[in-house]
Amino acid sequence: MSRYAHFKTYDLRYSDFDYKDELRASSLLGVVQESACLSADELGFGYEDLKPKNFGFIVVNTYCELRRPVLLGESLTVETWPLTPRHVFFERDYRVRVGDEEVAAAASRWCLVDLNTFALLRPEHMGEAHEKCPYRDEKAAVPQSWKVPHIKNGREMYRMTVANSHCDHYFHANNARYGDFYFDCFTMDELSRKKVKAFQITYEKQAKEGSELALRREDAEDGALCEIRCGEDVLSQFRVWFEA
């Protein structure tokens, strides 16, 4: 029996690219998220399958490794598959290609949530879809740790208010939008002089419409740490590695 994988090719838009004509981090996160959703639909535990139970999958960690920038005019093919769940964590990996060339790899962790109580649910709540799921325990990308170190001596870079355009059907800022939130902590000049090797995002609490966010940054020897705060609460953390 062949190993399961979902494949999807994306024709990218001009708006998916930045001032360098390179794919935005938010656009990469967007196609990865889209492929995860399409694969879940295919396997019987997608949005429409879970909606009647008022269950939903919420991403809690994303890690991306970049082999090279994706350039304006290129199309992407995303391959994704689910790994065997661990307790309340559902892992999923991805390979991202331009033609036959692997240009990025990613890994994510999700939690299945009761949207009424926000209790974390085990895989058994998926029923037959879990029992029959062709889990594939192969890693495309392996983070050093799923935890991002906390900032100790960071500085505030900017503030923003979450608006309706940031939010998805779970009424909080969509995870792909964090790619823009975090890379806006850097100037064009900085990003023109640095090549992103990898980045990682943790999502700890939801950023809902009207939330006033403060984005902070602390530079490290191999990159930088960032975090999003709402008052005293840390909602999300970010780590980026740059090429030496």
Neighbours of 192 (CB within 10 A): 11
Last residue of a domain, one of 142, 168, 185: 142
Last residue of a domain, one of 80, 109, 142: 142
State the Cα–Cα distance between residues 39 and 58, nearest whole angstrom.
15
Burial class (CB within 10 angstroms; exposed 0-12, middle 13-18, buried 19+) of 214 = middle
Q: Which residues contact 215 (CB under 8 A, 6 or more apart)?
A: 156, 157, 158, 159, 160, 181, 182, 184, 185, 226, 227, 228, 229
85 with 69, same domain: the answer is yes
123 with 179, same domain: the answer is no
34 with 122, same domain: the answer is yes
User: What residue type is 106 in one-letter code?
Assistant: A
131 with 16, same domain: the answer is yes
User: φ, ψ for residue 174 (rounded to 5)?
Assistant: -65, 145
169 with 219, same domain: the answer is yes
DSSP state letters, 221-235: TTEEEEEEEETTEEE
Give the predicted TM-score (pTM) of the model: 0.95
State the Cα–Cα distance between residues 137 and 85, nearest whole angstrom.
10
**Stretches in the chain below the pLDDT threshold 70:** 1
Total structural domains within the chain:
2
192 with 113, same domain: the answer is no
Residue 133 lies in domain: 1-142
What residues are paired with 241 via a beta bridge?
Answer: 198, 223
154 with 112, same domain: the answer is no
Contact (Cβ atoms closer than 8 angstroms) between residue 148 and residue 237? yes
Contact (Cβ atoms closer than 8 angstroms) between residue 75 and residue 10? yes
Last residue of a domain, one of 102, 119, 142: 142
168 with 62, same domain: the answer is no
177 with 137, same domain: the answer is no
Q: What's the pLDDT tens digit per position in 58-86?
A: 999 999 999 999 999 999 999 999 999 99
CATH number at residue 60: 3.10.129.10
69 with 169, same domain: the answer is no
Which of 208, 199, 210, 211 minimizes the C-alpha distance to 237?
A: 199
For residue 68, what pLDDT is reported? 97
What residues are paired with 67 via a beta bridge?
Answer: none
For residue 244, what pLDDT is reported? 79
